[in-house]
Amino acid sequence: MVRAAALALSGLIAAACSGPAPDKWTGWVYPDAADLTTSLMLGPFETFDRCQQAAQTALETWPGGGSGTYECGLNCRHDADLDMHVCKETRP
């Protein structure tokens, strides 16, 4: 009994010491700003700046590119009920 409690306590301490997961940025490139149903997902990236740079480069190199848009999202997850990605924050 004491051993099980000690193992459980050590597991909690290890989880607390590992801290929260690092932030991750995900990018979406939309080749046609008027039609957001077509996109390319990029990432993950450690910073917003890296996400933004990758999205801009992808947009510029897309065939016929230049008329589209992009966004970067922080700590995104796929919500199955909504069938879309939900992010803590998004930036253009």
Per-residue pLDDT tens over the stretch 37-78? 999 999 999 999 999 999 999 999 988 766 899 999 999 999
Q: What is the pTM of this model?
A: 0.74
Residue scoring higher pLDDT (55 or 1): 55
**CA 47 – CA 7 distance, rounded (Å):** 36
Per-residue pLDDT tens over the stretch 4-18? 333 343 443 444 456
Per-residue pLDDT tens over the stretch 69-82? 999 999 999 999 99
Q: Give me the pLDDT at residue 9, please.
A: 36
